[in-house]
Amino acid sequence: MSRPISRRARQAAETRRDILDAALRLFAGRGYAATAIADIAAEAGVAVPTVYASIGAKPLLLKGLLETVDLEAGVPELAQALGVATDPREVLRLAIRITRQVAERGSTIIKVLASAAGSEPEMGQAYAEGLAKHRAGAAATVGRIAALGALSPDVSEADAVAMLATLTDTPVYDGLTRHGWSYDKSETWLFDTLAAQLLRSRGRPAVPPISAATAS
C-alpha cells in the first residue's frame, strides 16, 4: 500500500508546477534569452531562491518543461499500444497520434527550445536530441510495418522514414493549424496521406522472406 503524499510534498509539487507554468508563459511571450530568473519568480509569486531550490537555473527550467511534454501527451501509453499492435494501419495510426499529441500539447515548449538552442549550447544539444528521438521513432514505426510485410514495395525503408519523420514533425502541425485546420483534421489527413504512400495495397500480397522463398 502506497503512503499518502505529505502536505509539504504536495506544496512543493504545486510550487514547482507554478514556476514551470510561469517560465513557459514568459519564455513564450518574451523569448528565452530575454527572460530572467527574477522575472519568472515574480510571475510565479515566489522568491528567487525558491526558483533555484525547486528547479534550478534557466536551462533546468526548460528541461523541466520538456519532461512534462511526453507525460501530458500520453506518449508512454500510446507507445506501449504501438509496440503490441499487429495491424500495420493501427501501427501507423498510433505513430501519427503520438506526434499529434506532442505537437498539440508541447508545440510552445518545442518552439522555446528551438529559440534557446542558438544561445545555450546545452539547449542546442537538447534540441538535437529531440530531433534524433523523432527520427528514431519514425524509423521504428517503418521497421515494424516492414516486419509485418505491409510496407509498400514502391518505397524503400529509408524513403519511408524520411516521409514519416518529415510529415509528422511539429512545424507541419503548426502550419496546418495556422491555416485553420483542427488537430483532428490534421491527424486524419496525415494518416490518409502516409497510408497511401507507405502501406502495401490490401489486395497486393507481401513478398515472402528470402529464407522462406529459397527453402523449397
Render each residue's pLDDT in the chain as its tens digit; 216 residues: 456 668 788 888 899 999 999 998 998 888 888 899 999 999 999 999 999 999 999 888 888 888 888 887 888 899 889 889 999 999 999 999 999 999 998 888 888 888 888 777 888 888 888 889 999 999 999 999 999 999 999 999 999 999 999 999 999 999 999 999 999 999 999 999 999 999 998 644 444 444 444 443
Task: Name the β-bridge partners of 199.
Answer: 151
| Helix, strand, or coil (residue 62) | helix
Distance CA 112, CA 181 (A): 23
Neighbours of 63 (CB within 10 A): 15
CB 32 within 8 A of CB 115: yes
Taking the model in full, what pTM does it have?
0.77
DSSP one-letter string for 160-192: HHHHHHHHTSHHHHHHHHHTT--HHHHHHHHHH
Mark residue 155 as left, alpha or beta (left: phi above 0; alpha: psi -120 to 50; beta: remaining).
beta
CB of 170 closer than 8 Å to CB of 100: no
- Of 162, 187, 155, 157, whose CA–CA distance to 172 is shortest? 187
Burial of 79 (0-12, 13-18, 19+ CB in 10 A): middle
**Distance between CA atoms of residues 9 and 161, nearest Å:** 44
